[in-house]
Amino acid sequence: MRRSFLAATFATLCLTGLAAGTAGVGQTGPESSAKSADQQRYEAELRRYQEEQERYQKGVRDAEAARRQYEAASARHQRELERQREEAAEAERRQQRRAARAAEEAREESDDQQRRDARAAAARDRQAAEEARRASAGGGSSPPAGSTASTGGRDCEQRERRNRRRGRTAGGLLGGLARTFTPVGGVAGVVTGLVPVGELLGEAIAGLLDCDEQRQAATATEEAVRGGVGTTTSWTSETRAGVAGSSTVTSAERTADGGDCLTVTDVVIVDGEETRAPKRLCRRSPSSRYVRV
């Protein structure tokens, strides 16, 4: 509307100026001077109009530039919002994947623990049944119901002592005779007398093995101790398939009271499931044998 008004004003001024110029041709004196003043006013009004027109056009250009800047800023804002939404969605997906992995690992660990517990319970049941059968065959009394792995070593030792008294030759727990160790790496000792299984095997290992396997594991410990640090002695069950183990001497030290101590790691594999248990064996004067502490 403003532009139309300016155009109309400009046309009016042009017509006015043309009329004034035409009327003033050939005139002189005061009348001519009045016409000249009208011409000057016309020219001044025309200049004012031209300036107004330039200001208007500049305002239009400025408005157009501001509109383009606003649109560019709005587009940038939309892109930033979209990027933030994508990042939030990706973070949510990563969190869900982590939670799913944690849940899966927890389920697997629970399943593994249940399988280990089931195998340990089955081993204890087999051991109890074997003890009852052997005790009945040997004239002894069967072990009390509900006995745990912590008493399995003692039951095996009692049965072996009965067998030896009756002249049986099923073998001692660790040989029955004194054995002399050769010094290796500064670790030397003499095992004298019979070393009970319970003094060499921990409950975690003994609870998975029957009596014969406990003897094999204890013998492996004895042989590994004889070899010193770095020695590994393996064994395979003679009574059950899928059962094996090993003993490895991992370190040795001398205690403040002059005793010698070894760290031995027992490994037992039952039906493909590995159980690993470190133990500490020490020998203190005047004793010459290593026992679990």
How far apart (Å, rounded) are the C-alpha atoms in residues 202 and 267? 11
Q: Which helix (H) or strand (E) holds 129?
A: helix 30-137
Mapped onto helix, strand or coil, the DSSP state of residue 236 is strand
Residue 118: its pLDDT value, please?
Answer: 82
Could you tell me the two tokens for 236?
């395979």
Give pTM, 2 decimals.
Answer: 0.40
**Averaged pLDDT, 15-34:** 56
Question: Residues 120, 207: contact at Cβ < 8 Å?
Answer: yes
Q: For the chain, how big is the Rg over CA atoms in Å?
A: 52
Residue type, 122: A
The answer, yes or no, to whether residue 83 has pLDDT greater than 80, is: yes
Beta-carbon contacts of 151 under 8 Å, excluding residues fewer than 6 positions away, are 143
Residue 178: its pLDDT value, please?
Answer: 35
Give me the long-range contacts of 161-166 (CB less than 8 A, separation at least 24): 162/138, 163/138, 166/138
Cis ω for the linkage preceding 144 (within 30 of 0): no
Q: How far is CA 1 from the centre of its chain?
A: 72
Question: Residues 234, 256: contact at Cβ < 8 Å?
Answer: no
**Chain mean pLDDT for the chain:** 76
How far apart (Å, rounded) are the C-alpha atoms in residues 149 and 172? 21
pLDDT in tens, 202-234: 888 888 899 899 999 999 999 999 999 999 999
How far apart (Å, rounded) are the C-alpha atoms in residues 293 and 260? 12
The answer, yes or no, to whether residue 7 has pLDDT greater than 90, is: no
Could you tell me the two tokens for 99?
């939670």
Residue 275, beta-bridge partner list: 268
The answer, yes or no, to whether residue 181 has pLDDT greater than 60, is: no
**Averaged pLDDT, 185-198:** 45
The answer, yes or no, to whether residue 189 has pLDDT greater than 50, is: no
How far apart (Å, rounded) are the C-alpha atoms in residues 195 and 292? 11
Residue 78: its pLDDT value, please?
Answer: 94
Pairing state of beta strands 260-270 and 291-292?
Answer: unpaired
Break the chain into its structural domains and give their ranges: 1-24+35-109, 148-292
Q: What's phi and psi for 168, nearest 5 deg?
A: -75, 155
Count of beta carbons in the 10 Å neighbourhood of residue 217? 26
Beta-carbon contacts of 232 under 8 Å, excluding residues fewer than 6 positions away, are 224, 246, 247, 248, 249
